[in-house]
Structure 1
Amino acid sequence: MVIYINGQFLTKEKAVLSPFDHGFLYGMGLFETFRVYEGHPFLLDDHLERLNQGLEVLNINYRFEREETNNILQELLKVNHLNNAYLRLNVSAGIGDIGLQVEPYINPNILFFPKPLPQAGDLTEKKAVLLELRRNSPEGSERLKSHHFMNNILAKKEIGHAVDTEGIFLNEKGCIAEGIVSNIFWVKGNCLYTPSVQTGILNGITRQFVCELAKKHNLSVEEGLYSLEHSLEADEMFVTNSIQEIVPISTLEGHEFPGKRGQIVQLLHREYRHYCKSLWSRHGLRSE
């Protein structure tokens, strides 16, 4: 596999970073993962917008633009002979002295990692289990997609290797929050519910897109602080992320849901397929 690192395309064996990188020493780094469909990086603008906002918070002086980023991605796809792929864009703060730095980071390390994926397929449902581990609070005012991933790793360790299961966090106040690698939604009547970012969740790019998609189809969308019991009264439940897309949930805490037979999840999945090879941002839905 060839990766991109600081302007070079190198085999993964030749890619190196300094041990004095503050992404390694202090976790000062961010990443985005997104999916490429037939060469198109779906919702790339939204991923870059979130990344740029996070870089400001971490005081890393760098900004990503679509054209330059997409040029790198297209070359990376070409050299790896990929058309459908998983892409991870990683920004690490860069080299610094031992000790906490308050000055801006001006030479971050920038990496792109590709991984082959098959063509997107049909809905695949999962079971959900409630985690004993609680979702930790964000380090700042809002959760960033950062190198601080221990809470997620411990949660994954709790549920094990089962690929057909997603663990669901409650936050420290007992509100339903999100999955280990996903955001959670449930449907009751004509309303789509999802936990607010005030619960401490990551504001997922697919989460934001699904909210816009639901509104486009005249579903009301409510974001709030909800108990587990509220979600268990749902007609349908599903989770989302940028790689797995929309994943119907069949069971949670002994409650059964329609899973991939759910009407709303099928509607949203069809629409997702319609846009995934062309849309750069969720805002493109509003211009139609």
Structure 2
Amino acid sequence: MYMFCNGAIVKESEARISPFDHGFLYGLGVFETFRLYDGHPFLLDDHLDRLNAALKELNISGNVDREEITGILDKLILANGYDNARIRLNVSAGNSPMGLQTSPFNNPNMLVFMSPISMEDILLEKKAVLLKTPRNTPETGVRLKSHHFLNNIAAKREISDQPGTEGIFLTENGFIAEGIISNIFWVSNGTIYTPDLSTGILNGITRQWIIEYAYHIGLRCEEGFFTPADLKRADELFYTNSIQEIVSVYSIDSGSRFQGKSGPVTRKLYEGYQRFKKQISSRNELHTYGEIL
């Protein structure tokens, strides 16, 4: 398998970065994961906008632009032979002496990983459990998609390796937050609900797409502070991320049951996702399809 490492396409076994990278020493790094569909990087512009905002927050110099990344992706597609793939774009602070640096990091390390993934247009159905591990609070004003993943790892250990199960974090105050690797949505009486960003959740790219697409097709979506009781009264429940797309949920805590993959709102959103995943680079492009949505 080939990857990109600081300007070169190399075999994964040959990639090298310094142990003095502050991404390794102090967790100063961020990443994005997204998918290629027949070579098209879905919502790439939205991912880069979030990445660049995070780099600014971490005082890491530079701006990752679309032309640079698409050029790297073209080379990786050629080297690996995959045009349906999972991509991880990782930028860390770069090399510096040990110690807590306050000045800008001017030479970040950039890595791009590629792995093959099948393109099955199937709405999956899984179950969910409420976690005992609480969601920690963000290190900065908003949650970054950063190297700080111990909270997620602790939650994953709590439910062990169950591919058909997603854990749902609660905040320390008992409000619904997000999944271990996902954002959470549910539907009650035709209205879509999802936790507000001020609960400390990641503003997922697929989350943003769902909210925008729902608006364009006339579905009401409310963000706020909700309890497990609100969640368990729902008709439909689903979670989202950029790799698994939209996944329906049929039960939570082996008790409350939902409509799962037969849920009409979940299915409508899923079908919209399938329609656009090979076409657009930003959720903002949806307005150009206004008359036919």
Q: 1:172 aligns to what?
A: 172
Contact (CA 8 Å) 2:121, 2:274: kept in 1 or not?
A: no
Instruction: State the shift of 1:95 in Å.
Output: 0.4
Q: 1:38 aligns to what?
A: 38
Instruction: State the shift of 1:121 in Å.
Output: 2.3
- Does the alignment pair 1:271 with 2:272? yes
Give a deviation string over 1:212-231, Cα, whole Å, max 9, x none: 11111111110001111111
| TM-score with structure 1 setting the length | 0.99
SS at match of 1:103: coil
**Is the deviation greater in 116-125 or in 196-205?**
116-125
Q: 1:196 aligns to what?
A: 196
Q: 2:90 aligns to what?
A: 90
Q: 1:256 aligns to what?
A: 257
Amino acid in structure 2 at the alignment position of 1:283:
N
Give a deviation string over 1:169-190, Cα, whole Å, max 9, x none: 0011110000000000000122
Partners of 1:172 and 1:142 lie apart in 2 by 17
- Segments of 5+ residues of structure 1 without an aligned counterpart are none
- Segments of 5+ residues of structure 2 without an aligned counterpart are none
Q: How is 1:138-177 mapped onto 2 (pairs within 5 angstroms)?
A: 138-177=138-177
Instruction: State the shift of 1:287 in Å.
Output: 2.4
Amino acid in structure 2 at the alignment position of 1:279:
I
Contact (CA 8 Å) 2:190, 2:265: kept in 1 or not?
A: no
Contact (CA 8 Å) 2:123, 2:248: kept in 1 or not?
A: yes
Contact (CA 8 Å) 2:186, 2:237: kept in 1 or not?
A: yes
Q: 1:225 aligns to what?
A: 225
SS at match of 1:272: helix
- Does the alignment pair 1:55 with 2:72? no
Between the two proteins, the alignment pairs up a number of residues equal to 288
Partners of 1:169 and 1:25 lie apart in 2 by 27
SS at match of 1:222: strand
Partners of 1:231 and 1:218 lie apart in 2 by 22
Q: 1:73 aligns to what?
A: 73
| TM-score with structure 2 setting the length | 0.97
SS at match of 2:45: helix
Partners of 2:278 and 2:110 lie apart in 1 by 26
Partners of 1:77 and 1:144 lie apart in 2 by 28
Partners of 1:232 and 1:286 lie apart in 2 by 34
Partners of 2:130 and 2:184 lie apart in 1 by 12
SS at match of 2:271: helix
SS at match of 1:106: coil
Q: 2:247 aligns to what?
A: 247
Partners of 2:241 and 2:39 lie apart in 1 by 19
Instruction: State the shift of 1:191 in Å.
Output: 1.0
Amino acid in structure 2 at the alignment position of 1:281:
S
